[in-house]
Structure 1
Amino acid sequence: MKKYLVIATLILTPLAFNASAAMHPQLEKTLVDVCKAGASNKTIILHNTVKSYRINKQRIYPRLVCNGETFHQFALNQGAYKTAKQIGRYMKKGKVTIKDIAMTYDSDEILAVNY
């Protein structure tokens, strides 16, 4: 019986946390800096920013949302075509998914920042 109680507790624990938890200030600053570097249209600035924060491009670029837009679309709308071309290499292509709005932990978590 204890075994089932422990399993049930482990399964239901993530549901007890709030889905809209606040982002750590350092993480938010880092992502804002990446958004600003992407809007700069200077690939060396974007490269240096990503390198200085040790960011994994494959994980962050497809999930980062800047001012309500995907990172790639944000760079295009800012007229930063050079950086948008560099960002576009990492965007997911050809995958359509439907996600439930319920709070679930997923590796495809969206990281959204506004500045």
Structure 2
Amino acid sequence: MKKLLPLTAIVLTSITFNASAAMEPNLEKKLIAVCKTALSDNLLLYSRTMQENKINKHRVFPRLVCNGQSFHDFAISNGATKVANKIAPYNSSGSTSITDLAMTDSKDVGYSVIF
């Protein structure tokens, strides 16, 4: 009996971890609704969907993938330029370049930052 209780706890824990790996159905529906707004170039529909689903733009848009593309790329590929322009500031596809100033000529001193 003493060995049965820890064994049962281990089995139930492993089942719980496997079940939590999948996305919550309610969250999945909300993200699908956001992806569907990229199919229409309607900013009113976009704003309403974001408010109704309480989407945090800074957390969701750099990570949201719709049909294998980032949300921004998905919106552009479907012709939703207004929506794509609206979420462009939240897209984290920027890059930074650093130039060593000690190794450059004094005439060509410059700062190189690309976003």
| TM-score range relative to shorter protein | 0.5 to 0.7
Helix, strand or coil: the match of 2:22? coil
Aligned AA for 2:69? E
Q: 2: CA distance between counterparts of 1:85 and 1:24?
A: 29
Q: 2: CA distance between counterparts of 1:87 and 1:38?
A: 11
Helix, strand or coil: the match of 2:95? coil
Q: 2: CA distance between counterparts of 1:57 and 1:39?
A: 18
TM-score (norm 2): 0.63
Q: Does 1:78 align with 2:106?
A: no
Helix, strand or coil: the match of 2:90? coil
Preserved contact between residue 39 and residue 83 of structure 1 (Cα < 8 Å): no
Alpha-carbon shift at residue 40 of structure 1 (Å): 1.1
Q: 1: CA distance between counterparts of 2:28 and 2:59?
A: 16
Could you list the structure 1 runs, at least 4 aligned residues long, displaced by more than 2 angstroms after superposition. Answer: none
Q: Which runs of 5+ in 2 are unaligned?
A: 1-16, 97-115
Preserved contact between residue 61 and residue 90 of structure 1 (Cα < 8 Å): yes
Total equivalences in the alignment: 80
Helix, strand or coil: the match of 2:21? coil
- 2:29 corresponds to which residue? 29
Q: How does 1:74-113 map to 2 (within 5 A)?
A: 74-92=74-92, 93-94=94-95
Q: Which runs of 5+ in 1 are unaligned?
A: 1-16, 96-115
TM-score (norm 1): 0.63
